Amino acid sequence: MPSAIKELMLKEIQGEFGSNPYAFITSFNKATVADSADFRRALQKVSSRSMVVKRTLAKKVLGELNCKDCDKYLAGSVLMTFGDKDPQNISKAIVDFVKANNKFAVAGVVFENKMYDQVFVQQLSRLPSRHELLTQVVVRVKSPISGFVMTLSQVLRGLVVVVNEIKKQREAGPAAA
């Protein structure tokens, strides 16, 4: 019979999986509480929540999600980071923190009820963010329009110069005659 605390923890983990489309799994060994706090601070702005999870509870939740081969992703102590926006931002923050702190290691990610390994997380971290992609789209849409406007303005500018020269010639013509 599981204890009431474990039942509450299980419900909380299930609730996080229910409200967030993905969860990054990070393993850590011999990390201090300060290291864990630094990790959470690094992810605070881009993720909805990071929590240390017991492996048995994680296996149970991932088993309910039909995630196969979850055992290989749950080595050592497990820290799960949940998110609901821009997974590439979270993966960048995790990969950057892991590079700086060797006590942590990227294990994988649960994305759309499928498990992906650390290679996927590293590839995801190299993708541009949604904001960067939208900026690229706007620049590419704006570029032909700006070129068209510049061409029209040059034609109009040339017409104004020609009309101005004709005006000067007519003004100078009768006075010279």
Task: Give the pLDDT band (50/70/90) at residue 1.
Answer: very low
pLDDT digits (tens, 9 = 90+) for 150-172: 888 888 888 888 899 998 888 88
Q: Is the pLDDT of residue 176 over 60?
A: no
pTM of the model: 0.72
pLDDT digits (tens, 9 = 90+) for 91-109: 999 999 989 888 888 888 8
3-state SS assignment for residue 103: coil
Structural domain spans, the chain: 4-127, 128-177
Q: How far apart are CA 96 and CA 77, in angstroms?
A: 20
Looking at the structure, give the CATH architecture of the domain made up of residues 4-127: 2-Layer Sandwich (3.30)
